[in-house]
C-alpha cells in the first residue's frame, strides 16, 4: 500500500490512522432504512457513501464483514408515550399485516440499491428477527444496574450511566442540560428522566407488533436493535459504525451507551457519518416535501426536476463531493454531472478497445511514464485520505486524458511501455468500476446495429453523399450517440440525449 488509510472519526473529531482490531478482518455496521415508506435520494446518498467505503476496503484486500440492518419494528412516529410504531401505523392505515409493509418497502429498497449499483451488505439482519438477542441485551443492561423497569417498559438510566461514563460524548451534549431542558414534560411519569430512552416498550391493547418478554408483552426500542445485531455479528468490539449525520443524536449516542452498559466495552472504534443531501440549501426529507424518489429522478417527473437523470449520472454526481460535506441538489449541477459522467463512460468504453502494441523505433517517453504512474499513485492517495472520492475522480479524469490520447494515437503504446500501460488500465478500471462502482449504462447490446450504421456512414462519406452522412449522424445523435469521425477510423461515443 502506498500510504496509510486515514479515516475521520466522528468520536474524536480527527482523522485517524485506520488500524483494524483484527487485521485483515474489518467489521463494519451501517444503520439501514426503516422500511415504512419509499427510500428517497437522501437515503441513497448515505448508502452509496458506505458502499464506496466497503468497496475500497475490499479493494485493499481487507476481509470486510459489512452488516447493514433493516429496521422493521420499534421506530416510533414520535417520542410521546403513546408513540406509534411507524410500521404498525402504516399497517393499520392500510389494513394489512405489518410484515406486508416491511416486505413491500424492503423489496423497494433493494431495487433502488441495485439501480445505483450499491452492493449488498454481507449480512442484512432485521430487528424483528432478533427479538431474543435484544431481550438479552436489555437483561445485561438491567444486570449492570443501568436500566430500570417501569409499568412494563424498560428504560435506560442516563443519570446513573453518566456517573461512570459520558453520555453525549459523540454529539457533544452535556447531560446536565439534557436532564434539565427535558424535565417536566407531560406524559413521562414512567421515566425517571425525560432523557432516558426506551429499551423495551409495553404494548398497548391496540399495538399490533408485540412480543412476550420478561417484562410483559411489548416491543423493543429503536436504538436497541443496532446494538444487538452489530455485536451479534461483529463481536463486542468492531471497527466501523456508520450512518447518516442525523442519526448521531440520539440514535448513535444511545448505541454507545447501550453497548458500553451491556458489554463493559467500547463497542465501536471508528464512528463515521455521511452528510445530508440538501435541496436549495435545506435538508432533503420526507416531512419537508422536498424529497425525490429515485424513479422520479430517472423520469424527471417532479416539479423540481427539469429533466430526468440516469442512475449513474446521480452516482457520479454524489461521488464528486466528499461524503462528509453537505451536497446541494440542483438541476444545473446534475446537468454538469451528466456531461462529466458521459465523458467518463466513453473512457470506460474505450478502455476495453485499447490493445497494447509494440512499435519499432519508438522510444520510451519517461516523462509520460512518470506522469501516468504518479496519477495512479494519486488515486490511492485520494482514497486513503478519508475516502476522498472527489479527488479520486479528478485523478481519473487525468488518466482519461492519457487513455484518449492512446486511443487517438497521439500517444504511442510503446512510448509508455507495457508495464505502465498495464498499470494505467488496471488503475482506471479498478477505481472506476470496483471502487467507485460506476458502470457503463445502456447500449452495448445494440453495438452491432450501430456498427452497421457506421458502415453506411462511411460508405456515404466515401461517395461524398453528405446529405446521407448528415442524416445518419443526426439519427444516431437523437439516440444519444455521437459519431466520432477521426483521421483513420470511425467510432462512436456516448452523448447526452436532449
> Which C-beta is closer to RNA: that of 114 or that of 339?
339
CA distance 343 to 341: 5
Cell of 199: 429499551
Smallest separation, CB 274 to RNA (Å):
6
> Which C-beta is closer to RNA: that of 61 or that of 93?
93
> Which C-beta is closer to RNA: that of 148 or that of 292?
292
Cα–Cα nearest to 284, from 333, 328, 334: 328
CA distance 301 to 308: 7
Smallest separation, CB 1 to RNA (Å):
19
Smallest separation, CB 212 to RNA (Å):
25
CA distance 234 to 16: 21
Smallest separation, CB 22 to RNA (Å):
27
Smallest separation, CB 145 to RNA (Å):
24
> Which C-beta is closer to RNA: that of 106 or that of 388?
388
Q: What are phi and psi of 113, to 5 degrees?
A: -60, -40
3-class DSSP assignment, residue 229: helix
> Which C-beta is closer to RNA: that of 110 or that of 484?
484
> Which C-beta is closer to RNA: that of 139 or that of 398?
398
> Which C-beta is closer to RNA: that of 58 or that of 335?
335
Smallest separation, CB 143 to RNA (Å):
26
Smallest separation, CB 6 to RNA (Å):
10
> Which C-beta is closer to RNA: that of 410 or that of 426?
410
Smallest separation, CB 55 to RNA (Å):
18
Backbone CA torsion sign across 60, 66, 438, 283? negative
> Which C-beta is closer to RNA: that of 23 or that of 371?
371
Is residue 26 within 8 A of residue 95, CB to CB? The reply is: no
Is residue 271 within 8 A of residue 238, CB to CB? The reply is: no
> Which C-beta is closer to RNA: that of 117 or that of 290?
290
Q: What does DSSP say about strands 327-329 and 277-279: parallel, antiparallel, or unpaired?
A: parallel
Instruction: Please give the span between the terminal C-alpha atoms of the chain, in angstroms, as a whole number.
Output: 44
H or E stretch at 440:
none
> Which C-beta is closer to RNA: that of 172 or that of 212?
172
Smallest separation, CB 171 to RNA (Å):
6
Tell me how far apart the 2 most distant CA atoms of the chain are, in Å: 90
Contacts of 130 (CB under 8 A, 6+ apart): 225, 228, 229, 232
CA distance 113 to 39: 10
> Which C-beta is closer to RNA: that of 144 or that of 425?
425
Smallest separation, CB 140 to RNA (Å):
23
Is residue 404 within 8 A of residue 493, CB to CB? The reply is: no
Query: E strands, 172-267, where?
Result: 198-202, 218-220, 238-244
What does the angle CA 421 – CA 426 – CA 428 come to, to the nearest 5 degrees?
95
Smallest separation, CB 393 to RNA (Å):
6
3-state DSSP percent of the chain in helix, strand and coil, to 5 = 50, 15, 35
Query: E strands, 116-195, where?
Result: 147-150, 153-156
Cell of 102: 416491511
CA distance 426 to 424: 6
Cα–Cα nearest to 88, from 248, 222, 226, 212: 222
Smallest separation, CB 23 to RNA (Å):
25
CA distance 315 to 319: 6
Amino acid at each position: 500500500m502506498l500510504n496509510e488509510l486515514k479515516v475521520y472519526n466522528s468520536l474524536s473529531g480527527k482523522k485517524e490512522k485506520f488500524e483494524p482490531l483484527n487485521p485483515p478482518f474489518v467489521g463494519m455496521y451501517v444503520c439501514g432504512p426503516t422500511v415504512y415508506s419509499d427510500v428517497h435520494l437522501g437515503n441513497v446518498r448515505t448508502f452509496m457513501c458506505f458502499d464506496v467505503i466497503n468497496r475500497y476496503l475490499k479493494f485493499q484486500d481487507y476481509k470486510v464483514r459489512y452488516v447493514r440492518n433493516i429496521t422493521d419494528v420499534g421506530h416510533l412516529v414520535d417520542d410521546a408515550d403513546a408513540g406509534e410504531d411507524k410500521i404498525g401505523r402504516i399497517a393499520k392505515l392500510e389494513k394489512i399485516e405489518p410484515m406486508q409493509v416491511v416486505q413491500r418497502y424492503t423489496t423497494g429498497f433493494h431495487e433502488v440499491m441495485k439501480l445505483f449499483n450499491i452492493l449488498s451488505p454481507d449480512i442484512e439482519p432485521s430487528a424483528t428477527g432478533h427479538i431474543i438477542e435484544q431481550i438479552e441485551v436489555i437483561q445485561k443492561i438491567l444486570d449492570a444496574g443501568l436500566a430500570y423497569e417501569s409499568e412494563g417498559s424498560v428504560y435506560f438510566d442516563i443519570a446513573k450511566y453518566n456517573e461512570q461514563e459520558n453520555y453525549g460524548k459523540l454529539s457533544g451534549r452535556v447531560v446536565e442540560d439534557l436532564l434539565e431542558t427535558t424535565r417536566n414534560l407531560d406524559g413521562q411519569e414512567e421515566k425517571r428522566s425525560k432523557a432516558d430512552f426506551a429499551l423495551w416498550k409495553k404494548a398497548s391493547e391496540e399495538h399490533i407488533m408485540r412480543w412476550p418478554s420478561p417484562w410483559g408483552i411489548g416491543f423493543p426500542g429503536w436504538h436497541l436493535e443496532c446494538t444487538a445485531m452489530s455485536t451479534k455479528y461483529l463481536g463486542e468490539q468492531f471497527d466501523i459504525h456508520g450512518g447518516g449525520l442525523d442519526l448521531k443524536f440520539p440514535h448513535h449516542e444511545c448505541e454507545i451507551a447501550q453497548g458500553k452498559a451491556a458489554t463493559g466495552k467500547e463497542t465501536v472504534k471508528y464512528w463515521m457519518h455521511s452528510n445530508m443531501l440538501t435541496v436549495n440549501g435545506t435538508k432533503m426529507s420526507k416531512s419537508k416535501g422536498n424529497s425525490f424518489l429515485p424513479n422520479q429522478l430517472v423520469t424527471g417527473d417532479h416539479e423540481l426536476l427539469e429533466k430526468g437523470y440516469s442512475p449513474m449520472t446521480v452516482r457520479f454526481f454524489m461521488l464528486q463531493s466528499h461524503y462528509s460535506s453537505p451536497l446541494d441538489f440542483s438541476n444545473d449541477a446534475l446537468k454538469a454531472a451528466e456531461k462529466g459522467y458521459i465523458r467518463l463512460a466513453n473512457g470506460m468504453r474505450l478502455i476495453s478497445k485499447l490493445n497494447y502494441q509494440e512499435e519499432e523505433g519508438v522510444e520510451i517517453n519517461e516523462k509520460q511514464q512518470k506522469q501516468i504512474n504518479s496519477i495512479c499513485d494519486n488515486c490511492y492517495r485520494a482514497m486513503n485520505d478519508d475516502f476522498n472520492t472527489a479527488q479520486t475522480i479528478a485523478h481519473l479524469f487525468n488518466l482519461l486524458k492519457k487513455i484518449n490520447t492512446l486511443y487517438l494515437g497521439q500517444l504511442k503504446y510503446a512510448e509508455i511501455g507495457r508495464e505502465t500501460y498495464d498499470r494505467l488500465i488496471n488503475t482506471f478500471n479498478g477505481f472506476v468500476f470496483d471502487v467507485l462502482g460506476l458502470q457503463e449504462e445502456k447500449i452495448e447490446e445494440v453495438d452491432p446495429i450501430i456498427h452497421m450504421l457506421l458502415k453506411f456512414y462511411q460508405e456515404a462519406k466515401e461517395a461524398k453523399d453528405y446529405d446521407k452522412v448528415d442524416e445518419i449522424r443526426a439519427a444516431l445523435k437523437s439516440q444519444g450517440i455521437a459519431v466520432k469521425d477521426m483521421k483513420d477510423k470511425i467510432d462512436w461515443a456516448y452523448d447526452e440525449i436532449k
